Amino acid sequence: MRFFYINSTRIAFSSITLIGINSNFGWINHAFHANFVRVFFLFLYIHIYRNIRLDSIKYFKVWTSGFLIYMLLIAISFLGYVLVWGQISLWGATVITNLLTIIPIGDKIIFWLWGDFSLRNNLLKFFFSLHFLLPFFLFVLVFAHIGLLHEKGSTDILSNFHLNKLKFDLFFLVKDLFSLFRIFLIVLVIFFNPLIRLDRENFIKANVLLSPVHIQPEWYFLYIYAVLRRIPNKLGGLLIALIIIVLLYLLCFGNFLYSKKKFILKLILDITLVILLLLLTWLGRKAVEYPYNVLGLYLRVMLLLVIFSIILVSFLPYWLF
């Protein structure tokens, strides 16, 4: 299959349509690419939560490689979303790249990033090159992540490490069949309703003179977006978002010896963290108006308190409980 995408602001949007209509099986490739990334991030977040809950994060190298994979996936998905060059693509790229203006030489960095005084062909060419090249680095990181995991071994449901591995039985067969069933559901969505979760605004060609009524990213970025946009100061919003990400990474330095009370307390905090992230994800789709702006302020404060509490509980020795 030939490559039909053209990284030009004039015809990038039309070339996406061309892929879906005129190329052989192009509509399947486009629908699979657009929908699978959403489901992939869902599985990724479940995987991250499972590792936090079962204390797999105590393996520093494994957690660090996984954290880098997550950061690289965020970059790759953002770059790919801009390449569509719809309304959300253009204004999303404008918002994110302009965050660089908070640093002293931000204007020069943005000019280098855009390759021009505005978002034009040079930006699309640069993003297209990165979107193509970064998956190769991702491939290396995934292999390193798997290799480091095999060096240490996984933790089990009791957060203990055992050299004696379990034999294959019906439980693992059911898990594999459930995974196949999830893949089957994705295929059903692709064939019968591939546009079910796509933003309608992004079916409109990018126009610098017309901004969308409500700019919002994909669902897997909504929790960060909800934190960023509800702080009037650009620097403050970015710092809080970075603090949340860094604090989650610092969990790997905690103390993983548990008493019964410490185990129960950490379980409650982990569940609370997930609930707050889900609420922020839901809030990211709402307009910045009452009562959502007030609710967003409380949820943001609660999220920081819960993350600090998880770190505090993780670092305290178990005999204090």
Q: Catalytic residue positions?
A: 150, 154, 175-176, 218
SS (H, E, C) 275-292: HHHHHHHHHCCCCCCCCH
Cα–Cα distance between 105 and 62 in angstroms, integer? Answer: 35
* Alpha-carbon span 110 to 316, nearest angstrom: 43
Under a CB-based contact definition with an 8 Å cutoff, are residues 104 and 56 in contact? Answer: no
Contact present, 57 and 149 (Cβ < 8 Å): no
Q: Tokens representing 175?
A: 């898990």
Angle 16-22-24 from CA coordinates, rounded to 5°: 105
Closest to 69 (Cα-Cα) out of 94, 33, 43, 98: 43
Q: Which of 258, 245, 264, 266 is nearest to 311 (CA)?
A: 266
- 34 CB contacts (<8 Å, ≥6 apart)? 194, 198
**CA torsion, ordered 49, 53, 55, 56, to nearest 10 deg:** -40
Q: How many CA atoms lie within 13 A of 258 on its CB side?
A: 16
Q: For residues 156 and 242, what is the distance between their CA atoms, to the nearest angstrom? A: 31
